[in-house]
Structure 1
Amino acid sequence: MDRKELSTGSIQEGLQNHEDCKNTILSVEDIKDPDLTVAQLLEEKKVVSEKLSTLLELVGELVIAESNITQHPTIKSIKNESLNSTLSRFHKILIDLQDVAFSTRMIPISGVFKKISGIVHELQNQSDIKVLLHTSGEDTEIDKSRVDLIFEPIVYILKNSIEYGLESSDKRLSNGKSEIKNIYLSARQSINEVLVTVRDDGHGLDRRKILEKAKQNGIIIDDSIRLTNQGTTFVLRIPISLGTMEGTVVRIGIKYFTIQTVELREFVSLRDKKEIELDKDQNVLDIRGTFVPIFNINQILNHKESIEYDNKDPLIIVLEYEKKLLGIRVDEIIGSQNVVIKPLIGIMEQAQGVNGFTILGNGNVSLILDAKSIFSKQEISGVK
């Protein structure tokens, strides 16, 4: 864990110094020819980036082609050990190629942390108030396209922590804290996102102002909440730009949907279980003592069209996100397969509960369900 000394003061001045050059920072390896101008170096980097993007697209198409071959009825009907062995080996090579290709656009977040430390270093002599900046998780990898997007928000939060969130030395001592202020900057990877946390040990949020603002907006807050003198924590959730993923495909009526396999907790048959109706639009299912809310796909996607279930062997897929659970009714589990994530376009970009689509091996289009947005929309959790 690194420890950097930091001082309060005008962060805007330090930011401006970095703003002019932050998008043109190049590594030593980039400067192979000292006669090249910055513009030429940036153009070379742009060409390399475009080639990498093309490579990633081709790898994605190769994944789709491989799925089309292995899922073709004719191929699946052939009982030949040599063919199966060859297809299995081809699949393994493709997965390795895919992992290497997509890793080319991931870089450690340490570059962002170093830039912030540079700003901290410039500002440390502008005030008598001393702050220790603690950093951790610098090796956490992030999509390079997100780097510039997160830099300014982190610095803005840091600025607010220093200028508004930290008390004077005398007040800190009277509150039983050390005279030196502490700010913690950390990063870690979750299932499909990177969490960047900025935390301080200052006086915390102003409870009175928050309650007043909440009442003005018709929001009810428990008056017993104590927010002051506890510091403040901000968490930035940065999605990992997955080009492909291991997904589980399900069928609901004549439509197909794909869920990231790591977000699936289990499948439950309704043959021997009965849903409990809480109200007109909400049922729950008792799964080993945990009551899990059950939804149909229209409730998830906010669609109004009718659903025609097969009703031969009703199933529930149970999703899990941050220890919360919910179930979705499906007709059939097609199976797991590696899928290429394609972005939604046009009016579909505003679709709720989905974050893309994929083309299955049988040629059908499948929407990719987004567990995070589904749970945020439903605001539910399994309750024992």
Structure 2
Amino acid sequence: MADATLLGEFVLDSLELLDDAEPKLIELQASSQVPDQVNTESINSIFRLFHSMKGSAGMLELHNITSLTHEAETLLDMFRSGKTQMTRAHMDTLFKAMDLIREILASVDANLTDKGFEDSVSGLVEELGIAISQSGGDASPAPKAKKPEPVKPLEPPPPPPPPEPVAEPAPEPAAADFSFDEFEIPITQEMLDRFVTEADELLEQCEAMLLTMEDDTTGEPVHEAFRAMHSFKGNCGFMGLSDPERMSHRMENVLSGVKEGIIAPTSDNTGILLKLVDILRDAVADVSSGGKGAIDNLELYVQLLDEILPEASESEAEPEPAAEPQPEAAEPASVPAPAEESPQPSLEIKLGDEKAPEAPQDAASPKAVPAKPKEMPATKAAPRTIVRQDIRVDLAKLDHLINLVGELVIAETMVTRNPDLVGHDFENFEKSAMHLSKIVRDLQDISLSVRMIPIAGVFRKMIRLVHDLSAKAGKKINLTLVGEDTEIDKTVGEIIADPLVHLVRNSIDHGLEPPDERKAAGKDETGEILLQAGHEGGEVWVLIRDDGRGLSRENILSKAIERGLVNGDGSDLSDSDVYNMIFHPGFSTAKQVTDISGRGVGMDVVKKNIERIKGHIDVRNNPGHGCTIVLRLPLTMAIIEGLLVRVGKAKYTVPLLAVRENIQVTKEMITKTMDGQELVMVRGQLLPIYRVHELHNTRPDNYKLEDGLLVIVENRGEMACLFVDEILGDQQAVIKGLSNYIGSVRGVSGCTILGDGEVSLILDVAGLIRKAQGLEAA
């Protein structure tokens, strides 16, 4: 179960890394065409992503992923060292590697293993090796991440360290070509925060396993503790924290000894390890507050750990007399920078060789260690605490929390607007009710914000899609992303990802013309696709716009007539009705089916997914100049501010963000058009009037406009007036979906429960206006 959890987290983290790497790789390839404009930060970032994945895969013994990422980062290192420039062939090879890694990750998620991909991996590793060789590098053998312990080589002769150590560091300068001294990777605050959070989790996991290690007979706790300490050590090395890395490396060796049966998991040994975990936690706390994670009395702790493992300490001590490096000397090696020329296949070996230099003191003068190795040097009295930046919460718990907050809002409304209070004046009750309302509102805002995520994650996946499809379709395309920081509900983000893919595919395949055709039409041969997100009237709008040929009304109508969707010649249909036919299942005007689109399935998927979240789709077409698809999504699927109105006995809720003002009119302000449309003059502007009771077949109290009220609403810059009997006030409305029995009602987005238990329909202003215009046309 523990392995499944670790592998599951690895898969999720790796997919995030790939999502981040793909757009940056495309940007890097574009900038590499101009040597003076090469984005070194993008190179660093992609290299770090592959390196992090390789380290985690090696720890989890996922050998296929380890070897593939090793070769990929070796090729990337050629770019960052300036030995070669990235070409389209290089980028295609790296994309193949990313796609294969995604397939392997899917297998890992389903089967908890990456086996079965050996042939595919070996072929791609060979292809990467050829690319490395052609770029002037040496393709180093891919790492076989078997055990982290190969760090204990027994070959070096024990007694005569003086000449050997000097000779051993000699090959190291080869790896120094790839040292971070020359090419420093900047550590951002986001990276630091994530390191602190993960380090705290790993230390907690290690501590929990150590507490159960002594009484356990399965050996699983020590394996878990070893893995946690190994990951912690790697993270420290990546961040350049030499002291925590040195000590965690020694603790890892001790845990390896317990795992191999060399050391007994006694209470004394476990006690020492637990105390050292506290010291590491203190070092991480120092990092979280801006320090370097320095550990006082580090040498004594190292000697103490080496004494626990006498047999291993001898083998580790021999190579150590070479150098007694200053703590700084270990730092470059602590940051993982794999080099293709270096014979060391993995991070563990390199760290082992660098860390060993501390043991010569232990080997040369074992008596220097205190006689009681179990005594710990005095530590600071007041340990620092780690500043946690985030916490992982199950999404189901968040959903349950938001549902409870919604019920709380309803309960608060039932109390504060109880019919029994009508006609009474309770001053203290009013004060308490206002205070309660404020707390409920704040709780609602916080609970909803927890689920909100930037739409950038969805948008940036389209970069790779456009890159691949443009090459496949033989078209030049420039993708522009606007409003990436717009926040949407996590569930909404997951649901719209698939529709966006289909819409972008259609824009590329059907919308944008080939370069020759664009030139002939007087356009730039590079087509433009815009993805834009923003807030509009209580909704999130996502626009997909292209500057291609646009939709053809004639082609759509002829295809609709052929399929029997239109009676007659369709001349009586509005442009909007015709364009919306592209969302019918199986509808396509493509002359031939391509492997990109043309089967008439995609747009049907788009419509169904958007309707699942009570969203709407608008099509705006400019023949010859492009088409814009607008996805109108609910800002939140839980609670809105609404204006409660009454029409006869029915009560409706109008979203407050769509309301502009409420007015009472006189006969002089009202006029009619030739076809009977009622209009009202408001500050020099004629606005149409729509009677809600006619749209919903209810009986109002008033039929004369001057006896009721007009609620002026706005949708996409289009204003209209809704005729109602009375305005009851504003209130928070918890959105409840309509039952399947009722289905989807045009002009209604859901319902809510009022304080007296009555149900109020929530009006969809845009749908209501379209419905009214449709009735007028009929």
| Alignment TM-score, normalising by the size of structure 1 | 0.76
CA displacement at 1:47 relative to structure 2: 8.2
Partner of 1:90: 436
- Structure 2 counterparts to residues 239-258 of structure 1, below 5 A: 239-258=634-653
Say if 2:648 and 2:699, in contact at 8 Å, map to a contact too: no
CA distance in 2, matches of 1:157, 1:134: 15
Partner of 2:168: none
Q: How many residue pairs are counted as aligned between the two chains?
A: 359
CA distance in 2, matches of 1:135, 1:125: 20
Read off the aligned partner of 1:219 and give its amino acid letter.
Answer: G
Say if 1:207 and 1:227, in contact at 8 Å, map to a contact too: no
> Which residue, 384, 399, 421 being the options, matches 1:74?
421
CA distance in 1, matches of 2:471, 2:718: 47
- Structure 2 counterparts to residues 68-217 of structure 1, below 5 A: 68-72=414-418, 73-74=420-421, 77-80=424-427, 82-121=428-467, 129-206=475-552, 209-210=555-556, 212-213=558-559, 217=566
- Structure 2 counterparts to residues 260-279 of structure 1, below 5 A: 260-270=655-665, 273=668, 275-278=670-673
Partner of 1:10: none
Say if 2:466 and 2:477, in contact at 8 Å, map to a contact too: no
Partner of 2:763: 369
CA displacement at 1:222 relative to structure 2: 10
CA distance change for structure 1 residues 352 and 210 in 2, over 3 Å: closer, same or farther? closer
Partner of 2:709: 315
Read off the aligned partner of 1:307 and give its amino acid letter.
Answer: P
Read off the aligned partner of 1:284 and give its amino acid letter.
Answer: L
CA displacement at 1:201 relative to structure 2: 2.8
CA distance change for structure 1 residues 165 and 75 in 2, over 3 Å: closer, same or farther? closer
Q: Give secondary structure in 2 for the equivalent of 1:197.
A: strand
CA distance change for structure 1 residues 30 and 341 in 2, over 3 Å: closer, same or farther? farther
Partner of 1:39: none
Read off the aligned partner of 1:153 and give its amino acid letter.
Answer: P
> Which residue, 295, 307, 313 being the options, matches 2:690?
295
CA displacement at 1:364 relative to structure 2: 2.9
Q: CA RMSD in A?
A: 4.2
Q: Give secondary structure in 1 for the equivalent of 2:462.
A: helix
CA distance change for structure 1 residues 92 and 156 in 2, over 3 Å: closer, same or farther? same
Say if 2:647 and 2:693, in contact at 8 Å, map to a contact too: no
CA displacement at 1:128 relative to structure 2: 6.0
Q: Give secondary structure in 1 for the equivalent of 2:548.
A: coil
Pick the structure with more helix per residue: 2
CA distance in 1, matches of 2:198, 2:624: 47
CA distance change for structure 1 residues 205 and 122 in 2, over 3 Å: closer, same or farther? closer
CA distance change for structure 1 residues 371 and 30 in 2, over 3 Å: closer, same or farther? farther
Alignment gaps of 5+ in structure 2: 1-22, 31-87, 89-95, 110-193, 206-223, 228-390, 576-620
Give percent identity, aligned residues only. Answer: 35
Say if 2:749 and 2:764, in contact at 8 Å, map to a contact too: yes
1:106-136: per-residue Cα shift (whole Å, max 9, x none)? 2211111122223345567657643222111
Partner of 2:628: 233
CA displacement at 1:211 relative to structure 2: 6.3
CA distance change for structure 1 residues 132 and 282 in 2, over 3 Å: closer, same or farther? closer
Read off the aligned partner of 1:94 and give its amino acid letter.
Answer: V
Q: Give secondary structure in 2 for the equivalent of 1:64.
A: helix
CA displacement at 1:365 relative to structure 2: 2.5
Partner of 1:329: 723
CA distance change for structure 1 residues 273 and 335 in 2, over 3 Å: closer, same or farther? farther
> Which residue, 734, 742, 751 being the options, matches 1:348?
742
CA distance in 2, matches of 1:30, 1:19: 26
Say if 1:193 and 1:237, in contact at 8 Å, map to a contact too: yes
Read off the aligned partner of 2:683 and give its amino acid letter.
Answer: R
CA distance in 2, matches of 1:147, 1:128: 30
Partner of 2:115: none
CA distance in 1, matches of 2:681, 2:104: 58
Instruction: Indicate the larger mover: 120-129 or 243-252.
Output: 120-129
Say if 2:454 and 2:486, in contact at 8 Å, map to a contact too: yes
Alignment gaps of 5+ in structure 1: 8-12, 37-44
CA distance in 2, matches of 1:283, 1:365: 30
Q: Give secondary structure in 2 for the equivalent of 1:58.
A: helix
CA displacement at 1:282 relative to structure 2: 4.4
Read off the aligned partner of 1:331 and give its amino acid letter.
Answer: D
Read off the aligned partner of 1:111 and give its amino acid letter.
Answer: G
Q: Give secondary structure in 2 for the equivalent of 1:164.
A: helix
Partner of 1:219: 570
The answer as to 2:448 corresponding to 1:54 is no
Q: Give secondary structure in 2 for the equivalent of 1:177.
A: coil
CA distance change for structure 1 residues 53 and 123 in 2, over 3 Å: closer, same or farther? same
Say if 2:537 and 2:657, in contact at 8 Å, map to a contact too: yes
CA distance in 2, matches of 1:315, 1:19: 61
Say if 2:538 and 2:658, in contact at 8 Å, map to a contact too: no
Say if 2:644 and 2:653, in contact at 8 Å, map to a contact too: yes
Which structure is higher in RCO with an 8 Å CA cutoff and minimum separation 6? 1
Say if 1:138 and 1:187, in contact at 8 Å, map to a contact too: yes
| Alignment TM-score, normalising by the size of structure 2 | 0.40
Say if 1:206 and 1:227, in contact at 8 Å, map to a contact too: no
CA distance change for structure 1 residues 89 and 182 in 2, over 3 Å: closer, same or farther? same
